[in-house]
Amino acid sequence: MLPSPGIDDLLRARCILCVQPHYDDNDICAGGTLAALHAGGAELVYLTVTDDLVGVLDPGLPAAAAATQLKSEQLAAGEIIGVGQQIWLGYPDAGDFDHFELRRQVARTIRRLRPDFVFTCDPWLPYEAHRDHLRTGAAVAEAAILYNLPRFSTDPEVDASYQPYELAGIAFYMTHAPNLTYDISGYRHKKQAALNCYRAQFTPGEMESLQRTLEALERQAGATAGCQFGEAFKLLSPRQLHIDPHAWKS
- Report the CATH number that the domain containing residue 201 is assigned in CATH: 3.40.50.10320
Cβ neighbors of 43 (< 8 A, separation 6 or more) are: 14, 15, 16, 84, 85
Cβ neighbors of 29 (< 8 A, separation 6 or more) are: 121, 173, 174, 231
* Beta-sheet pairing, 117-121 with 169-173: parallel
The pLDDT value recorded for residue 1 is 77
**In the predicted model, what is the mean pLDDT of residues 221-245?**
97
248, part of any domain = no
How do residues 140-152 score in pLDDT, each as one tens digit? 999 999 999 999 9
Which domain range does residue 94 map to? 7-242
- Cα–Cα distance between 66 and 54 in angstroms, integer? 10
247, part of any domain = no
- Other beta carbons within 10 Å of 17: 26
How do residues 54-72 score in pLDDT, each as one tens digit? 999 999 999 999 999 999 9
73, part of any domain = yes
Residue 39 has pLDDT above 80, yes or no: yes
Residue 2 has pLDDT above 90, yes or no: no
- Cα–Cα distance between 8 and 130 in angstroms, integer? 33
**In the predicted model, what is the mean pLDDT of residues 128-140?**
98
1, part of any domain = no
152, part of any domain = yes
The pLDDT value recorded for residue 224 is 93
Residue 125 has pLDDT above 90, yes or no: yes
- Cα–Cα distance between 169 and 5 in angstroms, integer? 6
The pLDDT value recorded for residue 135 is 98
67, part of any domain = yes
- In the chain, how many domains are there? 1
Q: What is the pTM of this model?
A: 0.98
226, part of any domain = yes
The pLDDT value recorded for residue 180 is 98
